[in-house]
Structure 1
Protein backbone atom coordinates (compact mmCIF):
# COMPACT_ATOMS: atom_id res chain seq x y z
CA UNK A 1 0.00 0.00 0.00
CA UNK A 2 1.36 3.42 -1.01
CA UNK A 3 -0.08 6.25 1.09
CA UNK A 4 0.44 9.98 0.73
CA UNK A 5 -0.39 11.82 3.96
CA UNK A 6 -0.86 15.59 4.07
CA UNK A 7 -0.80 17.53 7.33
CA UNK A 8 1.57 14.95 8.78
CA UNK A 9 2.43 17.13 11.79
CA UNK A 10 -1.18 17.65 12.87
CA UNK A 11 -3.01 15.58 15.46
CA UNK A 12 -4.33 12.90 13.12
CA UNK A 13 -1.49 13.09 10.60
CA UNK A 14 1.08 12.43 13.32
CA UNK A 15 -0.83 9.33 14.44
CA UNK A 16 -1.18 8.09 10.86
CA UNK A 17 2.56 8.26 10.32
CA UNK A 18 3.17 6.35 13.56
CA UNK A 19 0.58 3.65 12.86
CA UNK A 20 1.61 3.10 9.24
CA UNK A 21 5.33 2.94 10.01
CA UNK A 22 6.71 -0.29 8.58
CA UNK A 23 3.28 -1.33 7.27
CA UNK A 24 3.01 0.78 4.12
CA UNK A 25 5.08 2.90 1.79
CA UNK A 26 4.34 6.35 3.16
CA UNK A 27 5.04 9.82 1.85
CA UNK A 28 4.28 12.08 4.83
CA UNK A 29 4.18 15.79 4.03
CA UNK A 30 3.58 18.96 6.00
CA UNK A 31 3.11 22.39 4.45
CA UNK A 32 6.86 22.75 3.86
CA UNK A 33 6.82 19.56 1.79
CA UNK A 34 3.54 20.21 0.00
CA UNK A 35 1.42 23.34 -0.14
CA UNK A 36 -1.95 21.81 -0.91
CA UNK A 37 -3.24 25.21 -2.05
CA UNK A 38 -0.80 25.09 -4.98
CA UNK A 39 -2.59 23.09 -7.69
CA UNK A 40 0.49 22.43 -9.82
CA UNK A 41 2.59 21.38 -6.85
CA UNK A 42 -0.11 18.95 -5.71
CA UNK A 43 -0.44 17.34 -9.14
CA UNK A 44 3.33 17.04 -9.56
CA UNK A 45 3.82 15.40 -6.16
CA UNK A 46 0.95 12.95 -6.63
CA UNK A 47 1.97 11.95 -10.15
CA UNK A 48 5.56 11.39 -8.99
CA UNK A 49 4.59 9.21 -6.01
CA UNK A 50 1.56 7.46 -7.55
CA UNK A 51 -0.16 6.63 -4.24
CA UNK A 52 -2.93 4.11 -3.78
CA UNK A 53 -4.41 6.37 -1.11
CA UNK A 54 -4.23 10.07 -0.35
CA UNK A 55 -5.19 10.85 3.24
CA UNK A 56 -5.83 14.55 3.69
CA UNK A 57 -5.22 15.44 7.32
CA UNK A 58 -4.33 19.06 6.51
CA UNK A 59 -6.81 21.75 7.51
CA UNK A 60 -7.19 25.29 8.75
CA UNK A 61 -8.70 24.44 12.14
CA UNK A 62 -8.36 27.78 13.95
CA UNK A 63 -12.12 28.21 14.24
CA UNK A 64 -12.12 31.75 15.61
CA UNK A 65 -9.28 33.01 13.40
CA UNK A 66 -11.14 31.69 10.37
CA UNK A 67 -13.76 34.39 10.88
CA UNK A 68 -11.16 37.00 9.92
CA UNK A 69 -9.09 34.76 7.64
CA UNK A 70 -11.77 33.58 5.25
CA UNK A 71 -9.56 33.51 2.16
CA UNK A 72 -6.89 31.44 3.90
CA UNK A 73 -9.46 29.10 5.41
CA UNK A 74 -11.11 28.58 2.03
CA UNK A 75 -7.77 27.94 0.33
CA UNK A 76 -6.74 25.26 2.82
CA UNK A 77 -10.15 23.72 3.56
CA UNK A 78 -11.70 23.82 0.09
CA UNK A 79 -9.21 24.52 -2.69
CA UNK A 80 -6.54 22.20 -1.28
CA UNK A 81 -8.85 19.21 -0.89
CA UNK A 82 -10.17 19.81 -4.42
CA UNK A 83 -6.65 19.76 -5.87
CA UNK A 84 -5.81 16.60 -3.92
CA UNK A 85 -9.00 14.91 -5.13
CA UNK A 86 -8.34 15.92 -8.74
CA UNK A 87 -4.83 14.52 -8.46
CA UNK A 88 -6.15 11.32 -6.86
CA UNK A 89 -8.57 10.89 -9.73
CA UNK A 90 -5.81 11.43 -12.29
CA UNK A 91 -3.72 8.52 -10.94
CA UNK A 92 -6.63 6.26 -9.95
CA UNK A 93 -6.06 6.74 -6.21
CA UNK A 94 -8.58 6.86 -3.38
CA UNK A 95 -8.85 10.03 -1.31
CA UNK A 96 -9.71 9.87 2.38
CA UNK A 97 -10.63 13.33 3.65
CA UNK A 98 -11.30 14.51 7.21
CA UNK A 99 -14.19 16.90 7.84
CA UNK A 100 -16.06 18.21 10.86
CA UNK A 101 -19.25 18.45 12.91
CA UNK A 102 -19.19 22.21 12.19
CA UNK A 103 -20.92 21.56 8.85
CA UNK A 104 -24.13 21.32 10.91
CA UNK A 105 -26.07 24.10 12.58
CA UNK A 106 -25.98 22.27 15.90
CA UNK A 107 -29.62 22.71 16.91
CA UNK A 108 -30.96 19.21 16.22
CA UNK A 109 -32.48 17.13 18.99
CA UNK A 110 -30.60 13.85 18.95
CA UNK A 111 -27.66 12.72 16.87
CA UNK A 112 -26.69 13.95 13.42
CA UNK A 113 -26.53 11.32 10.70
CA UNK A 114 -24.79 11.60 7.34
CA UNK A 115 -27.98 12.55 5.48
CA UNK A 116 -29.01 15.43 7.74
CA UNK A 117 -29.17 18.88 6.21
CA UNK A 118 -25.94 20.84 6.58
CA UNK A 119 -26.01 24.48 7.65
CA UNK A 120 -22.63 25.74 8.91
CA UNK A 121 -22.76 28.79 11.16
CA UNK A 122 -19.26 30.15 10.58
CA UNK A 123 -16.39 30.40 8.13
CA UNK A 124 -14.62 27.27 9.35
CA UNK A 125 -17.70 25.07 8.93
CA UNK A 126 -18.61 26.67 5.60
CA UNK A 127 -15.15 26.11 4.12
CA UNK A 128 -15.02 22.53 5.41
CA UNK A 129 -18.41 21.82 3.81
CA UNK A 130 -17.18 23.34 0.54
CA UNK A 131 -14.18 21.04 0.82
CA UNK A 132 -16.43 18.00 1.21
CA UNK A 133 -18.40 18.92 -1.90
CA UNK A 134 -15.24 19.65 -3.87
CA UNK A 135 -13.70 16.28 -2.98
CA UNK A 136 -16.87 14.37 -3.88
CA UNK A 137 -17.17 16.18 -7.21
CA UNK A 138 -13.52 15.76 -8.21
CA UNK A 139 -12.97 12.10 -7.28
CA UNK A 140 -15.64 9.39 -7.26
CA UNK A 141 -13.35 7.15 -5.18
CA UNK A 142 -13.64 9.15 -1.97
CA UNK A 143 -14.34 8.67 1.72
CA UNK A 144 -15.15 11.72 3.84
CA UNK A 145 -14.95 11.32 7.61
CA UNK A 146 -16.72 13.87 9.76
CA UNK A 147 -15.40 13.94 13.30
CA UNK A 148 -15.56 16.16 16.38
CA UNK A 149 -13.72 17.31 19.51
CA UNK A 150 -10.37 15.82 18.46
CA UNK A 151 -7.67 15.38 21.09
CA UNK A 152 -4.37 13.54 21.35
CA UNK A 153 -0.83 13.62 22.64
CA UNK A 154 0.39 15.70 19.71
CA UNK A 155 -0.69 19.20 18.74
CA UNK A 156 -3.12 21.62 20.36
CA UNK A 157 -6.43 20.46 21.80
CA UNK A 158 -8.88 20.85 24.68
CA UNK A 159 -7.26 18.21 26.89
CA UNK A 160 -3.82 19.80 26.69
CA UNK A 161 -5.30 23.25 27.30
CA UNK A 162 -7.12 22.03 30.40
CA UNK A 163 -3.96 20.42 31.79
CA UNK A 164 -1.94 23.57 31.18
CA UNK A 165 -4.51 25.80 32.86
CA UNK A 166 -5.17 23.34 35.67
CA UNK A 167 -1.59 23.34 36.85
CA UNK A 168 -1.68 27.06 37.59
CA UNK A 169 -5.24 27.59 38.77
CA UNK A 170 -7.54 26.41 41.52
CA UNK A 171 -10.77 27.15 39.68
CA UNK A 172 -11.98 27.03 36.07
CA UNK A 173 -15.25 27.85 34.32
CA UNK A 174 -16.25 25.42 31.56
CA UNK A 175 -19.11 25.57 29.05
CA UNK A 176 -21.80 23.05 29.96
CA UNK A 177 -24.43 23.53 27.23
CA UNK A 178 -22.50 22.26 24.21
CA UNK A 179 -22.53 18.49 23.69
CA UNK A 180 -20.50 16.12 21.56
CA UNK A 181 -18.27 13.07 21.41
CA UNK A 182 -14.59 13.62 22.28
CA UNK A 183 -12.52 11.76 19.70
CA UNK A 184 -9.00 10.43 20.18
CA UNK A 185 -6.77 11.32 17.22
CA UNK A 186 -5.19 7.87 17.31
CA UNK A 187 -8.61 6.30 16.85
CA UNK A 188 -9.31 8.48 13.80
CA UNK A 189 -6.02 7.37 12.28
CA UNK A 190 -6.82 3.72 13.05
CA UNK A 191 -10.27 4.08 11.49
CA UNK A 192 -8.80 5.55 8.29
CA UNK A 193 -6.34 2.66 8.04
CA UNK A 194 -9.14 0.11 8.53
CA UNK A 195 -11.13 1.79 5.77
CA UNK A 196 -8.11 1.74 3.42
CA UNK A 197 -7.65 -1.98 4.05
CA UNK A 198 -11.37 -2.63 3.53
CA UNK A 199 -11.22 -0.79 0.21
CA UNK A 200 -8.21 -2.85 -0.84
CA UNK A 201 -10.27 -5.94 -0.03
CA UNK A 202 -13.05 -4.73 -2.33
CA UNK A 203 -15.37 -2.91 0.09
CA UNK A 204 -15.82 0.23 -1.97
CA UNK A 205 -18.71 1.99 -0.25
CA UNK A 206 -17.82 5.57 -1.17
CA UNK A 207 -19.30 8.61 0.56
CA UNK A 208 -19.59 10.43 3.87
CA UNK A 209 -19.20 8.76 7.27
CA UNK A 210 -19.40 9.98 10.84
CA UNK A 211 -16.76 8.92 13.35
CA UNK A 212 -16.46 10.35 16.85
CA UNK A 213 -16.31 9.33 20.49
CA UNK A 214 -18.80 7.83 22.90
CA UNK A 215 -20.44 8.47 25.25
CA UNK A 216 -21.56 11.98 24.38
CA UNK A 217 -20.84 14.60 27.03
CA UNK A 218 -20.68 18.35 27.54
CA UNK A 219 -17.36 20.19 27.64
CA UNK A 220 -17.92 20.52 31.40
CA UNK A 221 -18.44 16.77 31.82
CA UNK A 222 -15.40 16.08 29.65
CA UNK A 223 -13.27 18.38 31.80
CA UNK A 224 -14.46 16.62 34.96
CA UNK A 225 -13.07 13.33 33.63
CA UNK A 226 -9.83 14.99 32.49
CA UNK A 227 -9.13 16.53 35.89
CA UNK A 228 -10.13 13.42 37.83
CA UNK A 229 -7.61 11.38 35.85
CA UNK A 230 -4.98 14.11 36.08
CA UNK A 231 -5.28 14.30 39.86
CA UNK A 232 -5.42 10.54 40.37
CA UNK A 233 -2.29 10.04 38.28
CA UNK A 234 -0.33 12.92 39.79
CA UNK A 235 -0.29 15.06 36.67
CA UNK A 236 -1.92 17.85 38.72
CA UNK A 237 -1.23 18.05 42.45
CA UNK A 238 -4.53 19.62 43.53
CA UNK A 239 -8.25 19.27 42.90
CA UNK A 240 -9.83 22.09 40.94
CA UNK A 241 -13.20 23.71 41.46
CA UNK A 242 -15.05 23.52 38.14
CA UNK A 243 -17.89 25.93 37.42
CA UNK A 244 -20.48 25.14 34.76
CA UNK A 245 -21.24 28.15 32.56
CA UNK A 246 -23.37 28.79 29.47
CA UNK A 247 -22.20 29.54 25.95
CA UNK A 248 -23.45 33.10 26.42
CA UNK A 249 -21.05 33.50 29.34
CA UNK A 250 -18.09 32.50 27.16
CA UNK A 251 -18.36 34.55 23.94
CA UNK A 252 -16.16 33.57 20.97
CA UNK A 253 -15.63 35.01 17.51
CA UNK A 254 -17.13 31.92 15.88
CA UNK A 255 -20.39 30.31 16.92
CA UNK A 256 -20.01 26.77 18.29
CA UNK A 257 -22.60 24.06 17.61
CA UNK A 258 -24.74 23.38 20.67
CA UNK A 259 -25.15 19.80 19.49
CA UNK A 260 -22.14 18.04 17.96
CA UNK A 261 -23.43 14.52 18.56
CA UNK A 262 -22.64 12.40 15.51
CA UNK A 263 -24.46 9.16 14.74
CA UNK A 264 -21.72 6.63 13.97
CA UNK A 265 -23.87 3.63 13.00
CA UNK A 266 -23.09 3.85 9.28
CA UNK A 267 -19.32 3.47 9.68
CA UNK A 268 -19.88 0.54 12.03
CA UNK A 269 -22.30 -1.19 9.68
CA UNK A 270 -20.10 -0.64 6.60
CA UNK A 271 -16.57 -1.07 7.91
CA UNK A 272 -17.02 -2.58 11.39
CA UNK A 273 -15.55 0.48 13.11
CA UNK A 274 -16.72 1.24 16.66
CA UNK A 275 -16.88 4.81 18.05
CA UNK A 276 -13.73 6.22 19.63
CA UNK A 277 -13.32 5.12 23.26
CA UNK A 278 -12.28 8.50 24.63
CA UNK A 279 -12.56 7.38 28.26
CA UNK A 280 -9.89 4.74 27.64
CA UNK A 281 -7.69 7.26 25.84
CA UNK A 282 -7.96 9.75 28.73
CA UNK A 283 -6.52 7.15 31.08
CA UNK A 284 -3.19 7.82 29.36
CA UNK A 285 -3.36 11.39 30.67
CA UNK A 286 0.39 11.54 31.41
CA UNK A 287 1.08 11.39 27.68
CA UNK A 288 -0.85 14.60 27.02
CA UNK A 289 1.42 16.95 28.96
Structure 2
Protein backbone atom coordinates (compact mmCIF):
# COMPACT_ATOMS: atom_id res chain seq x y z
CA UNK A 1 0.00 0.00 0.00
CA UNK A 2 1.00 3.62 -0.45
CA UNK A 3 1.17 6.62 1.78
CA UNK A 4 1.08 10.22 0.66
CA UNK A 5 3.64 11.96 2.82
CA UNK A 6 3.77 15.16 4.82
CA UNK A 7 6.74 17.51 4.92
CA UNK A 8 10.11 16.44 6.30
CA UNK A 9 9.53 18.56 9.40
CA UNK A 10 6.43 16.58 10.27
CA UNK A 11 7.87 13.17 9.42
CA UNK A 12 9.01 12.30 12.98
CA UNK A 13 5.43 12.79 14.07
CA UNK A 14 4.18 10.46 11.38
CA UNK A 15 6.56 7.75 12.52
CA UNK A 16 5.18 8.10 16.01
CA UNK A 17 1.58 8.12 14.82
CA UNK A 18 1.70 5.26 12.35
CA UNK A 19 3.53 2.86 14.66
CA UNK A 20 0.68 3.11 17.16
CA UNK A 21 2.90 1.64 19.85
CA UNK A 22 1.87 0.89 23.39
CA UNK A 23 4.28 1.32 26.30
CA UNK A 24 4.94 -2.28 27.42
CA UNK A 25 7.51 -3.92 25.20
CA UNK A 26 7.72 -0.91 22.88
CA UNK A 27 11.04 0.60 21.89
CA UNK A 28 11.19 4.37 21.47
CA UNK A 29 13.92 6.65 20.26
CA UNK A 30 14.18 10.24 21.38
CA UNK A 31 13.45 11.97 24.64
CA UNK A 32 9.98 13.14 23.61
CA UNK A 33 8.76 9.61 22.98
CA UNK A 34 9.91 8.19 26.32
CA UNK A 35 13.53 7.76 27.25
CA UNK A 36 15.20 4.56 26.17
CA UNK A 37 16.29 1.68 28.34
CA UNK A 38 15.39 1.91 32.00
CA UNK A 39 12.45 4.29 31.51
CA UNK A 40 10.73 2.03 29.00
CA UNK A 41 11.41 -1.06 31.08
CA UNK A 42 10.17 0.70 34.19
CA UNK A 43 6.95 1.81 32.51
CA UNK A 44 6.43 -1.69 31.17
CA UNK A 45 6.79 -3.23 34.63
CA UNK A 46 4.51 -0.64 36.22
CA UNK A 47 1.86 -1.07 33.53
CA UNK A 48 1.96 -4.85 33.90
CA UNK A 49 1.50 -4.63 37.65
CA UNK A 50 -1.34 -2.16 37.23
CA UNK A 51 -3.10 -4.42 34.72
CA UNK A 52 -2.86 -7.37 37.09
CA UNK A 53 -4.00 -5.24 40.02
CA UNK A 54 -6.89 -3.80 38.03
CA UNK A 55 -7.96 -7.24 36.84
CA UNK A 56 -8.10 -8.46 40.42
CA UNK A 57 -9.96 -5.42 41.74
CA UNK A 58 -12.45 -4.84 38.93
CA UNK A 59 -13.89 -8.39 38.89
CA UNK A 60 -16.51 -7.56 41.54
CA UNK A 61 -17.08 -4.15 39.93
CA UNK A 62 -20.02 -2.78 38.01
CA UNK A 63 -21.18 -4.49 34.81
CA UNK A 64 -20.72 -2.44 31.66
CA UNK A 65 -24.45 -2.00 31.12
CA UNK A 66 -24.73 -0.19 34.47
CA UNK A 67 -22.61 2.73 33.23
CA UNK A 68 -24.58 5.69 31.88
CA UNK A 69 -23.58 8.24 29.23
CA UNK A 70 -22.80 11.54 30.94
CA UNK A 71 -22.00 9.91 34.28
CA UNK A 72 -18.98 11.28 36.14
CA UNK A 73 -16.46 8.55 36.96
CA UNK A 74 -13.12 8.32 38.73
CA UNK A 75 -10.43 6.06 37.33
CA UNK A 76 -6.77 5.07 37.23
CA UNK A 77 -4.63 5.11 34.10
CA UNK A 78 -3.60 1.54 33.30
CA UNK A 79 -1.86 1.74 29.93
CA UNK A 80 -0.59 4.31 27.42
CA UNK A 81 -1.33 3.79 23.72
CA UNK A 82 0.44 6.03 21.23
CA UNK A 83 -1.03 7.86 19.42
CA UNK A 84 -4.62 6.87 20.21
CA UNK A 85 -5.11 7.44 23.93
CA UNK A 86 -5.06 5.73 27.31
CA UNK A 87 -6.92 2.86 28.95
CA UNK A 88 -8.48 3.63 32.33
CA UNK A 89 -9.76 1.38 35.11
CA UNK A 90 -13.10 2.88 36.21
CA UNK A 91 -14.28 -0.18 38.13
CA UNK A 92 -16.04 -1.89 35.24
CA UNK A 93 -16.03 -5.68 35.51
CA UNK A 94 -16.14 -6.18 31.73
CA UNK A 95 -13.62 -3.80 30.19
CA UNK A 96 -11.25 -0.94 30.76
CA UNK A 97 -12.51 2.43 29.56
CA UNK A 98 -10.66 4.22 26.77
CA UNK A 99 -9.90 7.94 26.65
CA UNK A 100 -9.01 9.06 23.13
CA UNK A 101 -6.54 11.89 22.51
CA UNK A 102 -9.27 14.00 20.86
CA UNK A 103 -11.21 13.80 24.13
CA UNK A 104 -8.32 15.04 26.31
CA UNK A 105 -9.48 18.69 26.24
CA UNK A 106 -11.72 21.18 24.47
CA UNK A 107 -10.31 22.05 21.05
CA UNK A 108 -7.01 20.62 19.83
CA UNK A 109 -5.23 18.50 22.49
CA UNK A 110 -2.01 20.29 23.54
CA UNK A 111 -0.33 17.05 24.62
CA UNK A 112 -0.50 13.40 23.60
CA UNK A 113 -0.91 10.19 25.62
CA UNK A 114 2.44 10.59 27.35
CA UNK A 115 1.07 13.49 29.39
CA UNK A 116 -0.21 10.62 31.57
CA UNK A 117 1.57 7.72 33.19
CA UNK A 118 0.24 4.43 34.60
CA UNK A 119 -1.23 5.01 38.02
CA UNK A 120 -2.43 8.58 37.39
CA UNK A 121 -5.93 9.33 38.65
CA UNK A 122 -8.51 10.73 36.23
CA UNK A 123 -11.96 12.26 36.68
CA UNK A 124 -14.00 12.10 33.47
CA UNK A 125 -17.45 11.69 31.98
CA UNK A 126 -18.73 8.60 30.22
CA UNK A 127 -18.90 9.42 26.50
CA UNK A 128 -20.44 6.23 25.16
CA UNK A 129 -21.32 2.68 26.19
CA UNK A 130 -21.59 -0.16 23.68
CA UNK A 131 -21.82 -3.68 25.17
CA UNK A 132 -22.10 -5.15 21.66
CA UNK A 133 -18.74 -3.83 20.43
CA UNK A 134 -16.11 -6.44 19.63
CA UNK A 135 -12.39 -5.70 19.49
CA UNK A 136 -10.14 -7.29 16.88
CA UNK A 137 -8.54 -10.55 17.98
CA UNK A 138 -4.77 -10.05 18.23
CA UNK A 139 -4.13 -13.49 19.67
CA UNK A 140 -4.15 -12.30 23.28
CA UNK A 141 -7.76 -12.42 24.50
CA UNK A 142 -8.30 -10.04 27.40
CA UNK A 143 -11.75 -8.88 28.55
CA UNK A 144 -10.18 -5.70 29.90
CA UNK A 145 -8.76 -4.60 26.57
CA UNK A 146 -5.10 -5.60 26.41
CA UNK A 147 -4.85 -3.75 23.10
CA UNK A 148 -6.45 -0.55 24.30
CA UNK A 149 -9.59 0.52 22.52
CA UNK A 150 -12.24 -2.20 22.86
CA UNK A 151 -14.99 0.10 21.58
CA UNK A 152 -17.17 -0.70 24.57
CA UNK A 153 -16.63 2.17 27.02
CA UNK A 154 -15.33 5.63 26.10
CA UNK A 155 -14.55 8.61 28.33
CA UNK A 156 -14.21 12.34 27.69
CA UNK A 157 -12.57 15.30 29.41
CA UNK A 158 -14.29 17.77 27.10
CA UNK A 159 -17.02 20.07 28.33
CA UNK A 160 -20.38 20.50 26.65
CA UNK A 161 -22.59 18.12 24.70
CA UNK A 162 -21.67 14.44 24.36
CA UNK A 163 -23.14 13.78 20.91
CA UNK A 164 -20.47 12.64 18.44
CA UNK A 165 -20.58 11.39 14.84
CA UNK A 166 -19.86 7.72 14.25
CA UNK A 167 -16.17 6.85 14.19
CA UNK A 168 -14.77 6.52 10.69
CA UNK A 169 -13.73 3.02 9.63
CA UNK A 170 -11.70 2.79 6.43
CA UNK A 171 -12.52 0.21 3.78
CA UNK A 172 -9.35 -1.90 3.66
CA UNK A 173 -10.75 -4.06 0.87
CA UNK A 174 -10.45 -1.40 -1.82
CA UNK A 175 -7.15 -0.60 -3.54
CA UNK A 176 -5.18 2.37 -2.26
CA UNK A 177 -5.60 4.60 -5.30
CA UNK A 178 -4.92 8.32 -5.02
CA UNK A 179 -4.63 8.98 -8.76
CA UNK A 180 -7.90 10.92 -8.67
CA UNK A 181 -6.05 13.69 -6.82
CA UNK A 182 -3.17 13.97 -9.29
CA UNK A 183 -4.93 16.48 -11.52
CA UNK A 184 -6.39 18.55 -8.70
CA UNK A 185 -5.44 22.22 -8.85
CA UNK A 186 -3.69 23.72 -5.85
CA UNK A 187 -6.53 26.23 -5.59
CA UNK A 188 -9.20 23.49 -5.58
CA UNK A 189 -10.87 23.14 -2.18
CA UNK A 190 -12.34 19.96 -0.72
CA UNK A 191 -14.93 19.72 2.03
CA UNK A 192 -13.37 17.88 4.97
CA UNK A 193 -14.55 16.33 8.22
CA UNK A 194 -12.32 15.75 11.25
CA UNK A 195 -12.43 12.05 12.18
CA UNK A 196 -9.53 11.71 14.64
CA UNK A 197 -6.75 13.66 16.36
CA UNK A 198 -3.22 13.13 17.60
CA UNK A 199 -1.09 15.55 19.60
CA UNK A 200 0.41 17.06 16.44
CA UNK A 201 -2.33 16.85 13.80
CA UNK A 202 -5.96 16.20 13.03
CA UNK A 203 -7.14 13.56 10.56
CA UNK A 204 -9.53 14.90 7.95
CA UNK A 205 -11.80 12.84 5.70
CA UNK A 206 -12.34 14.21 2.21
CA UNK A 207 -13.99 12.80 -0.90
CA UNK A 208 -11.75 12.39 -3.94
CA UNK A 209 -12.82 13.67 -7.38
CA UNK A 210 -13.64 10.01 -8.13
CA UNK A 211 -16.04 9.88 -5.19
CA UNK A 212 -13.96 7.80 -2.75
CA UNK A 213 -13.33 8.82 0.88
CA UNK A 214 -9.77 9.54 1.92
CA UNK A 215 -8.47 10.55 5.34
CA UNK A 216 -5.49 12.85 5.63
CA UNK A 217 -3.28 14.64 8.15
CA UNK A 218 -3.71 18.35 8.79
CA UNK A 219 -0.68 19.30 10.90
CA UNK A 220 -1.04 21.73 13.80
CA UNK A 221 1.39 24.24 12.29
CA UNK A 222 -0.92 24.48 9.28
CA UNK A 223 -4.10 25.34 11.18
CA UNK A 224 -5.85 28.52 10.07
CA UNK A 225 -7.10 31.16 12.47
CA UNK A 226 -8.90 29.81 15.54
CA UNK A 227 -9.45 26.34 14.09
CA UNK A 228 -7.45 24.69 16.88
CA UNK A 229 -9.53 26.28 19.62
CA UNK A 230 -12.82 24.78 18.53
CA UNK A 231 -11.94 21.63 16.58
CA UNK A 232 -13.63 18.37 17.57
CA UNK A 233 -14.41 15.05 15.95
CA UNK A 234 -17.03 15.89 13.33
CA UNK A 235 -15.81 19.45 12.71
CA UNK A 236 -16.12 20.56 9.09
CA UNK A 237 -13.06 22.15 7.48
CA UNK A 238 -12.23 23.09 3.85
CA UNK A 239 -8.83 21.83 2.71
CA UNK A 240 -6.75 21.73 -0.47
CA UNK A 241 -3.85 19.73 -1.87
CA UNK A 242 -0.46 20.96 -0.72
CA UNK A 243 2.18 19.02 -2.69
CA UNK A 244 2.42 17.63 -6.20
CA UNK A 245 5.63 15.61 -6.05
CA UNK A 246 5.76 11.83 -6.05
CA UNK A 247 7.97 9.79 -3.74
CA UNK A 248 7.96 6.08 -3.07
CA UNK A 249 9.90 4.92 -0.02
CA UNK A 250 11.64 8.32 -0.04
CA UNK A 251 12.88 7.88 -3.63
CA UNK A 252 11.99 10.38 -6.36
CA UNK A 253 9.76 8.92 -9.06
CA UNK A 254 7.63 10.47 -11.80
CA UNK A 255 5.42 13.52 -11.40
CA UNK A 256 2.32 13.24 -9.27
CA UNK A 257 1.44 13.33 -5.61
CA UNK A 258 4.10 12.86 -3.01
CA UNK A 259 3.71 9.19 -2.06
CA UNK A 260 5.40 6.95 0.47
CA UNK A 261 4.96 3.26 1.23
CA UNK A 262 4.38 3.39 4.97
CA UNK A 263 2.24 0.98 7.01
CA UNK A 264 -0.57 0.96 4.47
CA UNK A 265 -1.40 4.62 5.05
CA UNK A 266 -1.90 7.25 2.37
CA UNK A 267 -1.01 10.86 2.98
CA UNK A 268 -1.64 13.92 0.85
CA UNK A 269 -1.43 17.63 1.63
CA UNK A 270 -4.17 20.21 1.60
CA UNK A 271 -4.64 23.71 2.91
CA UNK A 272 -7.12 25.53 5.14
CA UNK A 273 -5.84 29.01 4.36
CA UNK A 274 -3.67 31.04 2.00
CA UNK A 275 -0.60 28.96 2.78
CA UNK A 276 -0.56 25.22 2.20
CA UNK A 277 -1.58 22.77 4.89
CA UNK A 278 -1.26 19.03 5.12
CA UNK A 279 -3.90 16.33 5.06
CA UNK A 280 -3.32 12.59 5.00
CA UNK A 281 -5.28 9.70 3.59
CA UNK A 282 -5.36 6.76 5.97
CA UNK A 283 -6.53 3.48 4.48
CA UNK A 284 -6.13 0.57 6.89
Is this a same-fold pair by TM over 0.5? no
Q: 1 or 2, which has the higher strand percentage?
A: 2
Shorter-chain TM-score: what band?
A: under 0.3
Q: TM-score, normalised by structure 2?
A: 0.27
Q: 1 or 2, which has the higher helix percentage?
A: 1
